[in-house]
Amino acid sequence: MFFKKSKALSITVFMLILMLIFVGCSQPQEAAAPEAPAEETVSEENTTPEIENKTLLLSTTTSTENSGLLDAILPVFTRDTGIEVMVVAVGTGQALQMGRDGDADVLLVHAKASEEDFVAEGHGIERFEVMYNDFVLLGPLDDPADVAANAPNDILEALKLVYENEANFVSRGDDSGTHKMELSLWDELDLAPSGSWYAEAGQSMGAVLQMTDELLGYTLTDRATYLSMRTDLDLKIVTEGDNKLFNQYGIIAVNPDKNDKINAPAADLFIQWMLSDKGQQLIGEFGKDTFGDSLFIPNAK
């Protein structure tokens, strides 16, 4: 009888030991934590880098503002990054000078040769092509120099007709990208326009279009600004489609070595955003709903 009790007791102790072993082995498995560090690393890689200065100063040509492009895309950039963009819209020459003086963080301009010189001289970090459109020659509806009939796709012949007829012509006269293009065309013709028929406005593209409309004259403009204002103008395109009228835009971060006020991190982020699929898509879609076609064609490389 004692043997049977001892045997039963031994079995009971043995079972208790097995249960303790089982519980001890199972607890570490139940307490195993998820791989939090790996998840945190992935999350950090997918977020916008933290930038202390949330204000970016963009110096750009008036065509990007007058056309409405900046009003369409900058709020999206701000929502994506938390960075507010302050815009100074001037002629390309003046925008480049602001960069030389260290008075801007990033430039969006359209005078390729001058932009390349800007970078080569050490004022900018690197130039990226971002979008393009074209220049067109506008004239009054009655077209007194008969440009549309005789030079619809030849800008040199068109300007020659304006010159020979001394038809009113309004120049930007402000060292902008448009002004630089106009001067290069006169130089190619070996002509130096002057006289009462040739007015140098020293104004933005929008102001020049209004002045040209009042004078019933001709002017060279980017297509985007004209299309955005055409319903308020009695002007028409008289010359377009010449390869010489190609209008490329570039974007450049100003060299932060100029002073400690330049927001280089925000400038770099803005350039990345403009060249990204999202930025390029927004640029390409701008104008389609109103004009049936893009006012700027994205071409980031």
Q: What architecture is domain 134-245?
A: 3-Layer(aba) Sandwich (3.40)
Q: Where are the domains of the chain?
A: 55-133+248-298, 134-245
Res. 239: pLDDT tops 60 = yes
Whether 279 contacts 81, CB under 8 Å? no
CA distance 161 to 168: 11
- Band (pLDDT 50/70/90 cuts) for residue 58 is very high
131-162 per-position pLDDT tens digit: 999 999 999 999 999 999 999 999 999 999 99
| CATH fold match for the domains 55-133+248-298 and 134-245 | yes
DSSP element (H, E) containing 30: helix 2-31
- Give the three-state DSSP class for 6: helix
CATH placement of domain 55-133+248-298: 3.40.190.10
In the predicted structure, residue 94 carries a pLDDT above the cut 80? yes
Locus of tokens 């007194």: 144
Whole-prediction pTM = 0.80
> Could you give the percent of the chain with pLDDT greater than 90?
80
Write the DSSP string, 105-173.
SEEEE--HHHHHHHHHTTSEEEEEEEEEEEEEEEEETT-TT-HHHH-TT-HHHHHHHHHHHT--EEE--
